[in-house]
Structure 1
Amino acid sequence: MTSATSPLFQGYRLGDMSLPNRIVMAPLTRNRAGAGFVPSDLAADYYAQRASAGLIVTEATQISQQGQGYQDTPGIYSDAQVAGWRKITDAVHAKGGHIVVQLWHVGRVSHSSLQPNGGAPVAPSAIPANTKTFVNNGFAETSPPRALDASEIRGIVEDYRRAAANALKAGFDGVEVHGANGYLIDQFLRDGANQRTDRYGGSIENRARFLLEVMAAVIGEIGAARTGLRLSPVAPANGLSDSAPQPLFDHVMDELERLHPLYVHVVEGATQGARDIAPDFSFAALRRRYSGAWMVNNGYDLALAERVLAAGEADLVAFGRPFISNPDLVERLRRNAPLNPLDRDTLYGGGAKGYIDYPVLEPVD
């Protein structure tokens, strides 16, 4: 295909947004927030450099201090954080871009040093994540979690609602609820982490309840046309598993069809890993259950992205780490140009190096 005929470079109407292409910048944690977990001024440059993406989904952004799991990640629960994000949305919009914020509660994937009063991270059940987090400029084992009391869950749902309201104050075009990669919502969904015996555990309907309450609260606050959701049905990220993911996520998709958020963003296979880890799982079956915009993610290159779009298997394709080292990724894909190598030593934390200093292509006359 040529750039003129490729569906990847065609416009797409997503809610109230007219996207110039079908390329999405996926959320990418960079651990560069400043004091008070306020996004830095450098972040405005970082995101504005990448505004040629049809849509930007920000790095995961905690809805509360309790929701934080990694050092120097930004929040969206204080006035200072909202003001910091406003600089970023203004910079992206000035370049003609569109941007949504990913709302995040990590659950058990945290460290007590990050939690209020040094407390234990929270989870559906007191089952350790058996993974590492980034604290004190290095990686450390996550702290053992405590099980949430049922009376606490409503407060966390309210934190999501408040964060969505703050997102609009900060100038975002919408939000993406982070329900993937082994964090709190995913922990409630999957029986490898959820062994509750109350209305939030046991049956598929009960385990899906928290996700659906969060989605209903966010949609009730800002509208379905501004609300997306990310899921990773089979990813083993952060020690997560489920005994029967197909019926679980079939049910989730049926319920989402009723709520009808703006889009569903699906990680196919293992996050940042193999796409074929669950050959019996049918992502196509999920797609058939949901009539809204379908965004796919995980290991996509130009050829695969064009193929799935041309076949109608997706509406949007999200690219992750290629956007870190290629702020002009859209143009590089359009020209089928080589990509800059990724400097892995600067992925997490630091300053401008490996953040806003990657080279871009020379303009074509």
Structure 2
Amino acid sequence: MLLQVVLFVLFVPCVAAVCTFPSQLQGQWGSKFDGWTDLTITSGQITGMQPDGRSLDYSCYQSNGTTYVIVSAEFSFGNIQFHFYTCLDIVPSQASDVLYFRVLTHPNIGHQNFSVMSYAQDGDRNISEICKESSTEVPLHFDVFLKKGFENNIETDRCPRSLHAEFTANFTNDVDFSKCPEGFVIDGCNNRSHLTFNYSDCSGDQSSNGAPMYMCLTSMEAENTTYTTIYLPSAEGAPVNAYEIACMEQTMVDGQLSITKSGGACGAMPSVEMMANETVSCRMEVPETTTTGTNTSTQAPPSGTTKPGGGGQGGGGSGDVNDGNAASAIVYGCTTLLIAVVCGVLASALP
């Protein structure tokens, strides 16, 4: 413990980047949430953060997996020199065009979404104190950043199976409900990576007329609930009060799927905008397959005729191929037996 404190005190006056950010994190990023400015991430620095209203460059100081401790450039307060430190959990999407960003530091200085710990050059705090919260990947407290220039061309994730259906939904606030008292339909079948909110049945003066199509960005699970972050890339045809980022929270209650949609990031505790219940499941998709045996190529049966477990008994391909192999084995066995019998008869006839 003492060694860590001594090293911390010695190295603070000349803080430099001692770790690097991977290429998936590098670039210019914009957030859809209040409290964040655009960020630029290079191999060793993050610029654009303003935890106390001032803009400082932050260097990568220490990393472990997706967790990064960053340190600010030196600044003065009175006659004392300080550095800000904070701990971030930064998780890139598979396509590296979306970042999920979470602050793991309890602040002694905080500004909206961001929080830091300040250390004077002669401070003696243990650097491990900077990462206060668990780095477990949960959907709560993550903010979403989109790569600049790709906001309308984000690579989507497949929506979770629980959203592959059609749902009837109703607004939960009185104002929107009065404009759409019969509810509306959410279609998760037409495109398995998008959700279409069809407001066409709402009255003509409903600000939510149209059919905005949200992308599924990512899904995470916590306990018995699935949280899906959805994104509306273009406001064209969308309701005037649409959230660009929203959360679809899916929970099984007494064997029934209950869904709520809230504006903002999952876990941000916004007010619930709507509630929905499943009405129609999507038609099952049966892909065409080709099974190849010895000198045999057979197309899979038409949709609806494939046997459970992969088609044939034991799940070993289509039934036709297995039946052909069995017939070949019977013919081979009978031929062998016939040859043996003939040979036996001939042998007994010899003197």
- TM-score, normalization by structure 2: 0.20
Greater strand share, 1 or 2? 2
**Relative CO higher for 1 or 2, CA cutoff 8 Å, sep ≥ 6?**
1
- TM-score, normalization by structure 1: 0.19
Greater helix share, 1 or 2? 1
